[in-house]
Structure 1
């Protein structure tokens, strides 16, 4: 499941690129709404698969009005931490804390508000407002491998140090393409929320 190629017709969170270097971008994201679920699992892949199925159930009609909600991109996975506010948009994100808890997130299409979004049938799914935030992001094409994610994380850390930016979240892994896209052609982004710089 998921969005087949993340094309222009699929809504994504809105952002402006304010600086870029060596493939890394510093972005200002606009506020958006999201549906998210916290999953306890032994790996981010396991958490992402379980969380995706639950969130997909919600947007495909598993809610009190049986409304269909358009798929967005990306899907993000982020390690959940008691000290970290997790803010994600279109991707589905997965994150992990010391206890193996991950937050998987779908951003909601911009036509919806907190008042109009249908209530999920699954009480583990939370609807939340994500505030405007600044993120550092690195994009790559290929598989979701630990080696490539570590490489992206190193580039993000180098960029943050060069720009004197302080991390405000754990790493976020954002996937843009569904299983119909060959693994070698899938778009991924590794991101990190940072304390807003003066721009």
Structure 2
């Protein structure tokens, strides 16, 4: 129920992180994302991603429904994101939908609407929810449809990592999964993505972008 509630509006109607497509090859893209703020929460000790997702969504849905310092509603955005992170990664805590897995659990979060800054965003009432600023970054992305199964996810992860490796790029983050649609959306109509931050761009693409910029 919590997942359905967060998707009460069509994905097309929800605000999304701002990005520009630097390169596109079928379902594969390199994107340049602009900075944005995410609301996040961690599910420590949970191994099951679905269980962690449901608990994380409940906490975050409470936050955007008014469980915050302003007692105000915050508009839902898309996508919901999930990814595995290194347990040694240090996250800057300030005041909080992506999901990340650590050795001790998962982190779930989503973007706050662009009108908010770290200075004016409502502070969560639940101390398990926090805000974090994600800086501008270049992401390698594979877009796919289908069910949210571990088998499908691993297949897309392999496609993404093989492409990044073939392009000779350095990975800068853990893998992130992005889900744009509610569970009741037919699998073949869903927009799902797997992405990872990379350093730089393939040499051929960098040369092409430089040539275009000089014209």
Give TM-score, length-normalised by structure 1. 0.89
Note if 1:71 corresponds to 2:76.
Answer: yes
More helix as a share of residues: 2
Distance 1:59 1:175 in 2: 18
Distance 2:25 2:88 in 1: 29
2:31 to 22, 27, 33: 27
Structure having the higher Rg:
2
Structure 2: gaps of 5 or more residues: 92-96, 207-215
How far is 1:186 from its partner?
A: 2.1
Distance 1:196 1:67 in 2: 40
Q: Aligned residue for 1:161?
A: 165
Q: Aligned residue for 1:16?
A: 20
Q: Aligned residue for 1:112?
A: 116
Q: Superposition RMSD on alpha carbons, in Å?
A: 1.9
Residue pairs, 1:59-138, within 5 angstroms: 59-84=64-89, 92-99=97-104, 101-138=105-142
Query: Is contact 2:85-2:175 (8 Å) kept?
Result: no
Q: Which structure has the higher relative contact order (CA within 8 Å, separation 6+)?
A: 1
Q: Aligned residue for 1:143?
A: 147
How far is 1:15 from its partner?
A: 0.7
Structure 1: gaps of 5 or more residues: 87-91
How far is 1:20 from its partner?
A: 2.3
1:55 to 56, 60, 84: 60
Distance 2:85 2:120 in 1: 27
Q: Aligned residue for 2:174?
A: 170
Distance 1:60 1:184 in 2: 31
Give TM-score, length-normalised by structure 2. 0.83
